[in-house]
Amino acid sequence: MNRVLVPRNLSPQSLPPHPDGGSLHALKGRSMGTTWSVLLVAPADDLRWLGAGVQQELDRVVAQMSHWEPDSDLCRYNAATAGSWHALPAEFMEVLEAAREYAQVSAGAFDPTIGPLVDAWGFGPVSQRDNPPSAAEIDAARARVGWQRLQLDDAGKRLLQPGGLQLDFSSIAKGYAVDQLARYLGRAGVDHWLVEVGGELRGQGCKPDGQPWWVELERVDESLTHTVLALHGLSVATSGDYRRYFEHEGRRYAHTLDPRSGWPVTHALASVTVLHPECMAADALATVLGVLEPDEAHDFATRHDFAAQFVLRSGGGFVERLTPAFKALASD
């Protein structure tokens, strides 16, 4: 069975013309511990400087927000002494402010200070593990987690390190990087493109032949409906417990951690896909929905009126649940 999703704002009349001499080109590279790719419509002569510009945008995000690079702004803040104030770049503060808003609206299901728990469970840069941490280790990590501890000065340009606070933007930075590339391409005069960073996607316009940027949504299992989306004016982010985990004594511990309990989630949700105009929002919201209980997550997405697809384990198989905004994209 196939499902086709088409944004209501996608029509030939709504799209800008393709540039003179423009054709379809592909750019790709590596960043943020993963791969990136850009499909775009532009003259061939523009490719070299466009590719260099894309890489520079990604390098800037890594230099500011990577929790793997010890010299990044984020890592230097995490290692700073208690009571010190830190002037941080505008992009960093933009992501931090957004992360704090998602933490507040989700009542802590999203928390940018989750770094100590990520490390305790072996899903961060410190060390990998194949057995769960002790209760004492979890309690010690939880004592250092809490988005309410984030303190900005009145101008919002400096951040206090109260001691032991450890930021982790891994649930929002890739989406932000995609948005930054979208903004860069817009400044460069490129109107038709498909951007992907580590599986997070955003598209605008169409191919030279008038066909949309068709993308296939991730499927946990082949039994589920095959869904394709015409990606114009939308971003796609998927969060799933099947991507990264370890097993110990017959139990699987997934990398999706609940900041409120300190433990990996154990509910029936296998994956969730969010569609949203901004990729940073899609990225963060996919994390929120992956942490919340399935019914609570569906109610959250419905209440905030964004498109989400939930895949849940049921009786040895999988079932899906869709929000009204997701169903509304299905073509008649």
Q: What is the mean pLDDT of the chain?
A: 91
- The verdict on residue 286 lying in a domain is yes
pLDDT at 313 over 80: yes
Q: Interhelix angle for 279-291 vs 294-303, to 10°?
A: 150
CA 206 to CA 45: how far, in whole Å? 20
- The verdict on residue 259 lying in a domain is yes
- The verdict on residue 258 lying in a domain is yes
Contact call for residues 93 and 156 (beta carbons, < 8 A): yes
Quote the number of domains for the chain: 1
Residue 135: count of CB within 10 angstroms of its CB? 9
- The verdict on residue 268 lying in a domain is yes
Q: Residue 241 to residues 138, 248, 252: CA-CA distances in angstroms?
A: 20, 15, 9
Quote the pLDDT of residue 127: 67
User: Which domain does 243 fall in, by range?
Assistant: 2-7+21-41+191-327
Three-class DSSP category at 41: strand
- Structure tokens of 195? 């951007």
Three-class DSSP category at 159: strand
- The verdict on residue 120 lying in a domain is no
In the predicted model, what is the mean pLDDT of residues 299-328?
A: 95
Helices marked H in the chain: 47-65, 73-78, 90-105, 115-120, 135-142, 173-187, 279-291, 294-303, 324-327
In the predicted model, what is the mean pLDDT of residues 103-119?
A: 96
Alpha carbon 93 to its chain centroid, in Å, reads 17
Contact call for residues 37 and 85 (beta carbons, < 8 A): no
Give backbone dihedrals phi and psi of 142, rounded to 5 degrees, phi first: -60, -30
- Per DSSP, 132 falls in state P
CA-CA-CA-CA torsion for 246, 36, 62, 41, nearest 10 degrees?
Answer: -160
Measuring CA to CA, which residue among 152, 163, 147, 161 is closest to residue 102?
147
Query: What tens digit of pLDDT does each residue of 80-103 get?
Result: 999 999 999 999 999 999 999 999
Q: Residue 196 to residues 67, 98, 114, 153: CA-CA distances in angstroms?
A: 21, 21, 25, 35
Query: What tens digit of pLDDT does each residue of 149-163 get?
Result: 999 986 778 999 999
Query: What tens digit of pLDDT does each residue of 181-234 get?
Result: 999 999 999 999 999 999 999 999 999 998 999 999 988 888 889 999 999 999
Query: What tens digit of pLDDT does each residue of 11-34 get?
Result: 766 777 887 778 999 999 999 989
- The verdict on residue 102 lying in a domain is no
Q: β-strand 2-5 against 226-230: which pairing, if any?
A: parallel
Tell me the pTM: 0.94
- The verdict on residue 201 lying in a domain is yes
- The verdict on residue 88 lying in a domain is no
Contact call for residues 253 and 299 (beta carbons, < 8 A): no
The enclosing domain of 27 has a CATH number of: 3.10.520.10
Quote the pLDDT of residue 123: 83
